[in-house]
Structure 1
Amino acid sequence: MNAGIPPILPVAEPHIAVTLGALLAQLGPQSAELLGPADTEREVLGTEFYDALDDLPDEPGAILLIPSGSALAATELSALASAAVAARYAALALKSRDEEVATLTAVAETSGIPILRVHERVGWRLFEALISQQLGEHRHTDDAHLDRGAEPLFALANELAEFFGGSVAIEDLGRRIIAYSSVPGQAIDPFRTQGILARRVPDSPFNDDQYRTAVRSDVPLKYAQLGEELPRVVTAIRAGALPLGTVWAIDPTGDDPITEEQIHRVSSAAAVAAAHMLNDLRVRDAGRIPRENRLRTLITGSGVVGSEFAELGIPEERGAAILGFDPGGRDEADGRTAVLDHPARIAQLRSTVQRHLAVHRPEVVTVAHGGRVYALFACDRLDAAIRLAEPLLPILDRLLDTGTTIAAPGIVHRAVEVAPHRAVADRLFDTAAHWEVTDRVLTPTLLRPLLVFERSAELFAAEPELRFPQVRELVDADRPVAETLLAWCQRFGNVARTAADLGVHENTVRARLRRAERTHGIPLEDPDTLLTIWLQLRSEGVAA
């Protein structure tokens, strides 16, 4: 009866470009000024704070905010500018003294990236907020939770602290403390004090394991005292099966087992907190950003602690599918340049993939990385994941018009398996491009022979002693004989079928095989040797 109802397709939000020139005009000279000549028509997509201890995040089109810019030497700033150009940032923003303006201008001219001099009276959080307001994104900041939207959570923390007699903290998935109690006389320890002051849970050798266990548990837990850390009762904040954060209450009564009343109180508080966190857009955004950061950690394999699946609401026993989306649109000179020159295309691809998959898998999380988009969601079968993603292709064709392809490397059951599978997805994309594969959904099963050829070529290049030198000489000196030899291998030594494939007489095939053996020294009698020659021919790019 529903046959006449067309399928509901995700509605693509129109992309409105904000250029650097338009942004500066809106900010005004009282906020920032442009140093040196620059392309003011380049598009700005967001902001990113610079951290000297980390690599530059993969955020093409962002303005890199450098609070420590005045402490950088000219050579360090030049190196940073070059790195920002390579990462396709829109501009650098920093504060400086008047006598440093000439140096900054020279760096801008030499590197080719615009440099914005931020007014000394404009705070960095305010400057970020001004940019975000112009971009229409209203991005999360660490102080966003201190406004009126978080007041119910502070009241909830105080109410729970009155019962426990100890400090209570409510955290989001980024382990930021978004609300905390301030009841006079409450028990508190240095660990909690430091977290409140920094608005973030400090590192602890026990914290990762405690957090992972708490998020996975369906009931509140109690942790005994560890050094100066007082006993704590903790429970996860959830909306259905989706984790949103945690509630931690210090229990000054000691290491006695958790009581039924404590379980009831902290569970009720978590339910109330979940309702407020879902209703407050700012806190929802704060939950989205850590989820994207979790996936970015997983696909890079850097800093994986093992709790990421639980934090993303993905059961390890069921498994998860990781899918890659390559927008295509490559030019012949540089396969990645055309894509990375249009970061808005990547942003639109990620947004569309997220909206489509979230209809079927609410726990899905997506992230853009290296000019591609990756999605992770709970799934126990690869064919089911492909069925979810395939309807996206015609939608993406209409939106991007670049021939997007999907890579489905497999199902993962542990956090540490995500990065290797992402590497397989990248290899699928690269192999398909090299061999001009026209399929739009790529799997290891589909491309297995080509993957073997690619790896074999790498092996032969790295270890030349494994190659038959006469095969390379044959390919260079007598291509028709090389192609005949390959076709003969592919037909398992059947001369008649080889001749039919090549469109030549059978005697021509025999003559070419003799020439390969006698003139070029190609041994054709030993099966293992012949297998190696066959593999080398395919790895050399010879096609019958």
Structure 2
Amino acid sequence: MPDGRAQQLGSPVLDDGNLSNPLVGSTVILIGRPSPTEIERAARASASAVIVRATETSAKVLAAAGERAGITVLAANEKLSWGEVYSLVRTMFTMYETRDEGRLDLFELADSVARDAGGAVAIEDMGMRVVAYSSIPGQDIDELRADGILGRRVPEHAVQAEEYLAVLRAERAVWCHEPRDNAPRLAIGVQAHGQSYGTIWVIQGDTPLNARAPEILADAARRAVPQLAKISFAGDARRHLRNDLLGRLLRGIGPMEKLAAEVGLPVRGPFDVVAFGAFGALGSPADELDTGLVADMVRNVLDSYRIRAAVGVHDGHGYAVVAGEPDSSLWEDLIRETLSRASERHGETWRAGASRVLTDIRRLPEGAEQAHDVLLALSSGSDESLAFARHREMSAALVLHAVGTCSRLSVLLRDEPLATVLRHDDEYGSEYAKTLREWIKRHYDVPTAAAALFVHPNTLRHRLNRMRDLFDLDDPDLRLVLALQLRMHASEVAGAATA
């Protein structure tokens, strides 16, 4: 460290070997095993520091190169991914880049606003966590605010999502009157450069608020940006670390017992792995931000019931590893309810698939694969009302999904005999596909199938006899293939209609 510990970290930049632009004051993260030449190159690019991974021997060589080039060289812990290093540096940089007003204590700000506006104040982050509140004597608070302060999280109520969206979308302070049995609130979003960092709320008690309360809140929101930004970035860093550790656990990369301890899980089962997500009309997963928010919802509700679980985002989907719960009914109901609320809030249908019960922590990757397969089968299945299922309950659906996603089989499933049926329907306006689907679905029982088709049994028998002119409808192998083809075709038609 040529300048000792006084050297301030700059904004982080990941370098894969192509760094060329001047980066005055930046902290360059050198990916891989850098050489002294790359240390010197970073110094010439006007970086303030570089971060490397190095062995004990190479660390001395790189440190000497840094001394010669006049640049600080820091060694990253081998246990940290490059993404975690980046998030950590970004958080530290954000915490110290602001001056004066950035050091304002949020509790002091809450007291100041409460005095000027005339009502009790709470400041929340984007996770609806109460990060600061006022304590001015004589100012009333209602039950909702008291619960939020005690639990450091705002209790949920029926119109909470709509209320917060209205506050964050508004350009100025807005009034909120729900729930009706609590005091009205004046609220404003804390935003900067198009990014939201939290909200500020002031309660109106028996005495009306100061007429200038909206302007007072607007000024407070501007002043709160630096501190809430720090909280936001720190939360992002923690979330990234949590997701990375959970991802390693679900992939089986690294010492499983140690990874389990780092995410707060025991080393002995039973374990259940749950994958949850929502899919768009074209089969694409939900937005990563939405998935992260829903993962937070699942984590919070499981925590509130003291259910031991590691929850995060992995490969675009939410995952929860639930430990030590031989009776799964409680946490299953909690996840169902949480995903139902997420569906209402985000406008998509959220579903979850659970693995079989695992007794060995080394089988978590297998459990993750099972849960993921169930989630995909649920999302592509014909039963839209089914939002949660276990692997043991989905055997048939899993086979159908596997068959439908196999490219070689997908071609065959569109071939004969189904192709003959569909071609005949297109050319002559017949309803052979629909007829066969109902006949097979009713276990080849003509009276029952005829009732489902709203035709006379003799009419159905006549149609079936005419189909025998096209192919051998009495061949058991052909019937099996046709049943599978019709089932997969129905799924494709349903998917196209949704799109």
TM-score range for the pair, normalised by the shorter chain length: 0.3 to 0.5
TM norm structure 2: 0.48
TM norm structure 1: 0.44
